[in-house]
Chain A
Amino acid sequence: MRTLFRIVITTPLIAALVAACAGLGDVADFGADVATRTGTITEQQAESVRRSAQAVERSAEDITPEQEYYIGRSVGAVILDRYEPYDDQDANHYINTLGQTLALFSHRPELFGGYRFQILDSSEINAFATPSGIVFVTRGLLNLADSEDGVAAILAHEIGHVEYRHGLQAIRTSRITAALTSVAITGTQFATSEELAELTTTFEGSIDDITQTLINSGYSRGAEREADQAAIRILRRAGYDPNALIAVLEEMDRQLDPQGLDFAATHPAPSTRIRDIRSELEGYRHTARATETRQERYTAALGRL
């Protein structure tokens, strides 16, 4: 009985001790802060600490969803500077309902500002996914599909790019390091206009890196394969036919001008993608459901494109 009593008394004490140890980092931090403020270490030493922190290379993974959101908004504004939005409320509402439904089945359903979809008024075969989750898709690309499952395949591929953060990976590492460490060394937000100007230049460079990749050079073949694999996974989980992605690519293969500046310039050949997708889908049998309802709502929303 005495042993049990001893245990009951000592248990909370041990727990309190462990909890106190967990807070030691905070105490050390506070000490360092006091040391700087009281002059125990000089401003020069503090600067040296800041510089060594600056030397740590940062990568796309270190960009917070909040910063990703601001990058994405600006990439969106640049795309809308080059392409006219297709201003049809029903059509845009439909692809938002479809796209936001698909996002629930992705590995990354929650983004800082959420997924948004917008049709572009262009006959070019193209799509752009901003890092923040705004997905632009042209009339030309949507017209390659002839069913809701086909449109779902197009949108799921773009969600795949967002899920894997391919857009952010297009930013040069030196810019990410500059952006994230200048944040760290600034005591108060933009104490001087030079700091704001410097960070805006880095921001501009980052937006250029992404839009250049999205519009001109395209992602790597590996990134496109990852987005196709994500599309297959999302379509299967949602209950759409992943073979619809093959049907869209076959139509793309028929319509794409090999010399074009759209998907022809930025994506691997549709035939290559089809081959990879077929091997991915080997042995998969899809059970078709509600095709009539899906076809009706697809035609009602996108039939006029």
Chain B
Amino acid sequence: MRKRLVFSFGLFLVVLSVLLSSGEQRSVEVKQTPMRDRPGFLGAPVTTLSYGDRIDVLGTRQDWTQGRFTATGSEGWVHNSALTTKRIILDPGTRDVERSATDTEVALAGRGFNEEVEARYRAEQGLDFSYVDRIEEYEVPVEKLAAFIQTGELNDPDGGQ
């Protein structure tokens, strides 16, 4: 009986340490996203993560991932739509490029359709992008969205989280 108990405990320890050492990670695949203190859009930002940043997964709840930002040690929650399981390589070298040809778990930042291609396309087509740049500045801060939700008696976007 005692032997079996010791064996089960040992097995539990093995599984636990394998889980901890295998360290699941996620990469940020949007320009910037806040890491929040709780799993919800109205949670307070702990830090801001940028494109390509890696986090160690600590847990998940519905559409949110709890993680630790490896570079600073900050911990918090990030919405799943800002994350990918792929490793994003910000400054890819030849080896990364060759690897990306066959490894779908690798994404190269700044490759393919990028700023340089857009600049050439813009010049060739004679298109004006100044209004597009202006539209991109229309970001409404989340506190204003929260006030809009409250006065309009809309539902809590974090409801049930």
Contacts and interface: CB of A to CB of B under 8 A. Distances in A.
Interface of A: 3-4, 7-8, 11-12, 14-16, 18-19, 22, 29-30, 32-33, 36, 46, 49-50, 53-54, 62, 64-67, 69-71, 73-74, 76-78, 80-81, 85, 92-93, 96-98, 100-101, 104-105, 107-114, 116-118, 134, 148, 179-190, 196-197, 199-200, 203-204, 206-207, 237-240, 289-290, 293-294, 297
- Interface of chain A, helix or strand or loop or mixed? helix
Contacts of B41: 104, 109
Nearest to B19: A15
Contact of B3 (A3, A22, A71, A108): A3
A240 B145 CA distance: 15
16 contacts: A15-B17, A18-B21, A19-B21, A36-B98, A66-B109, A67-B114, A77-B129, A92-B138, A112-B31, A112-B51, A183-B111, A196-B116, A204-B121, A238-B154, A238-B155, A290-B153
Which 8 A-B pairs have CB atoms at the shortest separation, nearest pair first?
Answer: A53-B101, A290-B153, A7-B10, A184-B101, A15-B17, A183-B112, A110-B82, A239-B155
Contact of B154 (A29, A181, A239): A239
Interface residues of B, number: 67
Given A12-B17, A179-B112, A290 B152 contact: yes
Interface in B10-41: 10, 13-14, 17-18, 20-22, 29-31, 33, 41
B70 to A, nearest CB: 16
A53 B99 CA distance: 10
Nearest to B51: A66
A71 B138 CA distance: 19
Contact of A196 (B21, B99, B120, B140): B120
A29 B128 contact: no
